[in-house]
Amino acid sequence: MKNTNHHTAPPKAMTIAVGRVLRPLVRGFIRFGLTWPLVADIIKRTYVDIANEDFKTKPDKPPTDSRISLLTRVHRKDIRRFRLETTPAPLNLSDSSVGAQIIARWQAGAPYLDAQGKPKPLPRTGEFGFDHLARGISKDTHPRAILDELLRGGAVIVDDDNHVHLDTSAFIPAEDFEGLAWYYGLNLHDHIAASTHNISGNTPAFLDRAVHYSGLTPASVAELEKLSKEMAMEILLSVNAKAQELEVRDKGRADANQRMTFGAYFYGEADENPDVSLDENSGENPQQETSND
């Protein structure tokens, strides 16, 4: 189904689906300090970029600011500002979470570092204490509320002398976070791109299938997870071996300008709707009818 009439309300089923898609994304945004102003700016810029790239009236004629505003409801003054930027503007770090700003200031500010350049334990109050640091970042949020949030996240601890210690190991991932974030963006982008391609009615459809079951015990989910990992790894290794073979064969060809992604995932949690019957909520993904396999 292709909805090209931008003067009608979007399909209700689509708005419900988007709300569900956003929940784990927003959970991650909050976890890593991406606040609404920061994300809103990213989304606004992305709306303008996509409208400019994919919704041209003619292949060689980019849409006007008025058309982009009509398609996206982004104000024309913002569209003009984006057009004038030759490179993406630096993100406004003042829109990042207060906790993240405090941690950054604590690690960089001379009054808060010891002789070795490491963050000092800070007294709760007084000059260059935690409250002083917090108020220097935000006058709108009480230092106690900020401290409680940092304690909840494990970024700080408070000792018996009421000194606040920064625990850098608690908020710096042990693994290569930049690498993890890169694959997070790649894998989610490609899966969502395939699903959007299919639900838009484009053909041929991409492979996009999954198996869903509810009414299972934790032990059964663990058993299915183990089976899924074993089978998925076999398939991934086979596809990887074939891809390497084809990469060698295609090297140097003029049309060797394509990329692909094939992935697998498994997810389990407590059922949000335990009263839904198995007949209504089990089996293969209904997108199988539009899958290309």
* Chain Cα centroid distance, residue 111: 35
User: Phi and psi of 113, rounded to 5°?
Assistant: -115, 150
Q: Which of 37, 68, 38, 64 is nearest to 50 (CA)?
A: 68
pLDDT band at 114 (very low <50, low <70, confident <90, very high): confident
Q: Say if pTM beats, i.e. exceeds, 0.75.
A: no
**pLDDT reading at 130 higher than 90:** yes
What is the model's pLDDT at position 157?
A: 93
Helix segments in 138-274, DSSP class H: 143-153, 168-171, 177-199, 218-250
Q: Hey, is 287 helix, strand or coil? A: helix
CA–CA dist 221, 231 (Å, integer): 15
What is the model's pLDDT at position 274?
A: 55
Residues 217 and 268: beta-carbon distance below 8 Å: no
Tokens of 223: 């058993």
Tokens of 256: 């060797």
Domain boundaries, the chain: 12-93, 97-171
Number of residues assigned to the chain:
293
**pLDDT reading at 78 higher than 90:** yes
- The model's pLDDT over 231-277, given as tens digits with 9 standing for 90+, comes to 999 999 899 889 989 998 999 999 999 999 999 999 999 987 655 44
